[in-house]
Amino acid sequence: MMSRIFSGIQPTGNLHLGNYLGAIRNWVDLQHQFESIYCVVDLHAITVPQNPAALHQATIEVTASLLAAGIDPKQAIIFNQSRVPQHAELAWIFNCVARLGWLNRMTQFKEKAGKNRENASVGLFAYPALMAADILAYKATHVPVGEDQKQHLELTRDIAGAFNAMVEEDFFPLPEPQIIGEATRVMSLRDGTSKMSKSDASDFSRINMNDDADTIVQKIRKAKTDPDVLPETAEALDDRPEARNLVTIYAALAGTDIDRVLAEYAGQGFGQFKPALADLAVAKLEPVTQAMRRYMDDTAEVIKVLDDGAERAHAIAQPIMSDIRKRLGFLGESLG
């Protein structure tokens, strides 16, 4: 089977360094090796309440960040999910394939629903079935994601397998997660045990892709650390989550590994390491931030990329969905 990449990102606010190092930077590399489809997942965004104007704006901004990071719309398909109705259509079918017990095990739902579970939307609970539909509507074979999405990918494989068993055919591939690089789980700058996230109340917990140089320097200066010097081995960072996080970020930005960073900085304290990290972060992120501002000055170009991407994505998903309809015995062609 031909390799095809699919991955998605939510338009739920500014992209941050975790999204960049855990996912987008890898998307940029992979677009040259595989047919690649990158989706701004607005249907996923509405699993929690959204302000329509903010969602509209974030869809444009996230797309601008993808372009600024180096995704080439001539090479890869970039579009927003709700434009291609096959995502929602297949998600419904997968809601009928997935078992309640499988979804009950998903840790992201538990984290996001929190104590208010009874009040969470049905969509938030069924989120992984929509994610499976996103991937399998294109029969994608590889899915580059951060560590946090691993469990959802396993569910996608379970759904694909159950569907295949139902239709007695290897209809869908079992997609492989691609969790690549040093920084597969970037942690909050305020708490090394929780994930850097768009929805963290504190802006000082994350570096946003549109932060200016001064803000990046300030956030790194204020990042939580400990009083010890950097050790010689990575194992010695095991019980120092904040220190490990900053060293990991450095390694990922520098395109090296943790051991090499420690070989250079062992014995030095954060008074020395933080300025070096801030310089590196500014040097690596500033070109992306500047390119993003240029795209935001001409949003017509960004919207054109999404229009074109939606057509190309639809052209792939539509015939696959048509085959699925036949397998299930649905009468006639879908009008979507």
Binding residues for ligand AQP (CB under 6 A): 8-10, 12, 18-19, 22-23, 145-146, 148-149, 184-186, 195-199
Q: Which residues pair with 143 in a beta bridge?
A: 177
β pairing state of 176-178 and 142-144: parallel
- Smaller CB distance to ligand AQP: residue 148 or 164? 148
Q: Active site includes 195?
A: yes
Q: Which of 74, 139, 195, 326 is catalytic?
A: 195
Q: CB of 148: closest distance to ligand AQP in angstroms? A: 5
Q: CB of 253: closest distance to ligand AQP in angstroms? A: 13
Burial class (CB in 10 A: 0-12, 13-18, 19+), 321: buried
Residue 108 sits at φ, ψ, to 5 deg, of: -65, -40
- Smaller CB distance to ligand AQP: residue 196 or 217? 196
CB 302 within 8 A of CB 295: yes
CA distances to 86, 155, 323 from 320, in Å? 9, 20, 5
Separation CA 10–CA 205 (nearest Å)? 19
- Smaller CB distance to ligand AQP: residue 195 or 274? 195
Q: Which of 115, 150, 198, 222 is catalytic?
A: 198
CB 76 within 8 A of CB 82: no
Report which residue type is found at 260: R
Residue at shortest CB range from ligand AQP: 22
Q: CB of 257: closest distance to ligand AQP in angstroms? A: 17
Q: CB of 272: closest distance to ligand AQP in angstroms? A: 26
CB 92 within 8 A of CB 129: no
Q: Active site includes 110?
A: no
The DSSP code for 21 is: I
For 281, residues 6+ apart whose C-beta sits below 8 A from its C-beta are 17, 207, 216, 220, 249, 253
Q: Active site includes 112?
A: yes
Reported as half-sphere exposure (CB side, CA atoms, 13 A), residue 210 has a value of 16
Q: CB of 198: closest distance to ligand AQP in angstroms? A: 4
User: Which residues are the active-site residues?
Assistant: 112, 195, 198
